[in-house]
């Protein structure tokens, strides 16, 4: 993990409520924050390669944060999201932290030192994608070997397999092992992007092509020039756009919205789906000619349960990724047996969820069977019950007494620290902060003392 943080950050600034003054802009600049204003979440389709974070102004709820998260998921992109919240809307700030915000800051906070400290904490988010991958089971080793050969051949490839098996992982490997590795890898999830945005994201537009098109915008085919384009969940592409996609694949030319002439594009297409595309063809939801065009080579990734040799190596690998700085370094034999005996309907993604939960609960060096909470069986697409539970205001804050407090694991302590700091930074005073957190001012005082004892900084607060 990179612990050095950033000195300067390019941030997309999304605030539909109030523009900032020249003076506020200058303060941000001297704190190392370079701002690019966007008017709405749908403008996030811009090239995000050089963006370090997105700053979002929330008013009465976290709807905008959820919308931005959905769009980023669609662009297969993960960025720190900083939420600006009015001081009297504390609960929104607390909800935003629960909803995955990197940090929450008061909407009238322009202090250079606060923003500089924010910038220095960016760039430290653990990035699973940058870690190496696990292919240990003999069937996975064969798949990896085949993928390397397909990568070198540069042909259009279709990845199939159930949810969470590693289709995106394999797409990245196909890119990294190909002669295009020095070019860009651009991803688009056709299921996560609102239908109204897909056409613009795919084909781009000229300046002035429609009201609000103040700049020209390159679509993903152009952005992937010299590299690979990964179209995830291609089975969800609107039928009307499928013929346009087919034309681009045949002609290797793309016409931006509002343009007179086409532009030549050079990209390698990798598509993925967990849908049965043959059934979709029969149901007239997917074009047969497009299917033939994208499935020049098909790689099918088996469910995790069909490659049991991967389970423990993956569990240990993910533990290294998530648990390295919280002092958990292995599993008890009972936990290993439980991992091996489970069906894994949500595949590697579920394994990763299970381990992240285990790390929150586990307070010793080994994860035990009791720490393993599996996703709800028949609800693989729904949020697991545990996530619902931690999305509530933190009841454990009030419940924790002296002895239990001493035994809190570092992961849960860090989470508490982030939530408490967010409340304190946005509240006019501690009493209000405690109210927003759903705890008494006394418990808040106790919690702060405890966090301080564990070396966590609580200095920048009233």
Ligand X SMILES: Nc1ncnc2c1ncn2[C@@H]1O[C@H](COP(=O)(O)OP(=O)(O)OP(=O)(O)O)[C@@H](O)[C@H]1O
Contact flag: residue 414 with ligand X (CB under 6 A): no
Q: DSSP letter for 296, please.
A: S
Contact flag: residue 236 with Mg ion (CB under 5 A): no
Minimum CB separation of residue 317 from ligand X in Å reads: 6
Contact flag: residue 345 with ligand X (CB under 6 A): no
Of the CA atoms within 13 Å of residue 101, those in its CB half-sphere come to 31
Q: Closest CB to ligand X among 2 and 111?
A: 2
Q: Closest CB to ligand X among 172 and 256?
A: 172
Find the binding residues for ligand X in span 307-336 (CB under 6 A). Answer: 314, 317
Backbone angles phi, psi at 300, to 5 degrees: -110, 125
Q: DSSP letter for 284, please.
A: T
| Contacted entry of Mg ion, ligand X, none for residue 165, CB cut-off 5 to 8 Å set by kind | ligand X
Contact flag: residue 167 with ligand X (CB under 6 A): yes
Minimum CB separation of residue 189 from ligand X in Å reads: 7
> Quick check: 44 and 71 in contact, CB under 8 A?
yes
- Token pair for residue 123? 């760039």
| Contacted entry of Mg ion, ligand X, none for residue 139, CB cut-off 5 to 8 Å set by kind | none
- 62, 95, 352, 450: which one binds ligand X (CB under 6 A): 352
Contact flag: residue 165 with ligand X (CB under 6 A): yes
Of 447, 444, 435, residue with least CA distance to 408: 447
Residues in the chain: 462
Residue given tokens 């959905």 in the structure block: 70
Contact flag: residue 168 with Mg ion (CB under 5 A): yes
CA 384/CA 371 separation, integer angstroms? 15
The site string for Mg ion over 214-233 (x = CB under 5 A, - otherwise) reads: ------------------x-
Sign of the C-alpha dihedral computed for residues 364, 370, 372 and 375 taken in this order? negative
Find the binding residues for ligand X in span 270-289 (CB under 6 A). Answer: 274
Contact flag: residue 236 with ligand X (CB under 6 A): no
Q: Closest CB to ligand X among 190 and 335?
A: 190
Q: Closest CB to Mg ion among 191 and 312?
A: 191
CA 20/CA 39 separation, integer angstroms? 13
- 55, 89, 234, 348: which one binds ligand X (CB under 6 A): 348
CA 281/CA 287 separation, integer angstroms? 6
The site string for Mg ion over 148-167 (x = CB under 5 A, - otherwise) reads: -------------------x
CA 396/CA 385 separation, integer angstroms? 16
| Contacted entry of ligand X, Mg ion, none for residue 344, CB cut-off 5 to 8 Å set by kind | none
The site string for Mg ion over 16-45 (x = CB under 5 A, - otherwise) reads: ------------------------------
| Contacted entry of ligand X, Mg ion, none for residue 74, CB cut-off 5 to 8 Å set by kind | none
Q: Closest CB to ligand X among 190 and 427?
A: 190
Minimum CB separation of residue 322 from ligand X in Å reads: 10
Minimum CB separation of residue 135 from ligand X in Å reads: 6
Q: Closest CB to ligand X among 6 and 136?
A: 136
What is the DSSP annotation of 16-67?
A: SS-PPPHHHHHHHHHTTEEEEEESSGGGGGS--TT--EEEEEESSSSHHHHH
Number of CB atoms found within 10 A of residue 113's CB:
9
CA 61/CA 415 separation, integer angstroms? 21
Q: What percentage of the chain's residues is helix, strand, coil (to nearest 5)? A: 50, 15, 40
Helix (H) or strand (E) holding 396: helix 395-399
Using CB under 6 A, list all residues that contact ligand X.
128, 133-135, 161, 163-169, 274, 314, 317, 348-349, 352
Residues in the site for Mg ion, rule: CB under 5 A?
167-168, 232
């Amino acid at each position: 993990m990179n612990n050095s943080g950033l000195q300067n950050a390019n941030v997309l600034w999304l605030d539909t409520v109030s523009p900032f003054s020249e003076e506020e802009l200058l303060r941000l600049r001297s704190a190392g924050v370079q701002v690019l204003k966007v008017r709405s979440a749908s403008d996030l389709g811009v090239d995000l390669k050089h963006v370090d974070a997105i700053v979002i102004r929330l008013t009465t709820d976290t709807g905008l944060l959820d919308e931005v998260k959905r769009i980023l998921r669609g662009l297969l992109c993960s960025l720190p999201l900083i939420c600006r919240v009015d001081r009297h809307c504390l609960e929104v700030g607390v909800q935003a932290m629960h909803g995955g915000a990197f940090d929450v800051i008061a909407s009238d906070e322009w202090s250079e030192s606060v923003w500089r400290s924010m910038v220095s904490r960016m760039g430290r988010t653990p990035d699973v994608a940058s870690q190496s991958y696990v292919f240990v089971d003999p069937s996975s080793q064969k798949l990896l070997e085949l993928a390397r050969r397909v990568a070198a051949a540069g042909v259009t490839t279709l990845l199939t397999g159930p949810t969470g098996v590693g289709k995106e992982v394999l797409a990245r490997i196909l890119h990294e092992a190909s002669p295009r590795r020095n070019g860009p890898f651009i991803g688009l999830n056709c299921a996560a992007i609102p239908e109204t945005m897909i056409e613009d994201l795919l084909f781009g537009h000229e300046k002035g092509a429609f009201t609000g098109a103040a700049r020209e915008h390159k679509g993903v085919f152009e952005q992937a020039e010299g590299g690979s384009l990964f179209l995830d969940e291609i089975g969800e592409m609107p039928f009307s756009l499928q013929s346009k996609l087919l034309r681009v694949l045949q002609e290797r030319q793309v016409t931006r919205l509002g343009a007179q002439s086409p532009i030549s594009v050079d990209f390698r297409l990798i598509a993925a789906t967990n849908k049965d595309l043959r059934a979709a063809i029969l149901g007239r939801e997917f074009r047969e000619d497009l299917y033939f065009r994208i499935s020049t080579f098909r790689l099918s990734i088996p469910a995790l349960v069909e490659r049991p040799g991967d389970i423990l190596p993956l569990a240990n690998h993910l533990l290294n990724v998530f648990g390295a700085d919280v002092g958990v370094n292995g599993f008890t034999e009972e936990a290993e047996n439980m991992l091996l005996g489970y069906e894994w309907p949500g595949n590697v993604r579920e394994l990763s969820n299970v381990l992240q939960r285990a790390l929150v609960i586990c307070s010793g060096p080994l994860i035990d069977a009791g720490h393993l909470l599996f996703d709800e069986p028949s609800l693989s697409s729904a949020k697991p019950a545990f996530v619902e539970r931690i999305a509530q205001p933190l009841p454990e804050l009030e419940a924790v007494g002296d002895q239990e407090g001493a035994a809190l694991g570092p992961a849960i302590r860090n989470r508490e620290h982030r939530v408490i700091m967010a409340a304190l930074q946005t509240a006019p005073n501690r009493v209000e902060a405690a109210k927003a957190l759903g705890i008494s001012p006394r418990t808040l005082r106790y919690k702060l003392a405890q966090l301080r004892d564990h070396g966590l900084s609580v200095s920048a607060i009233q």
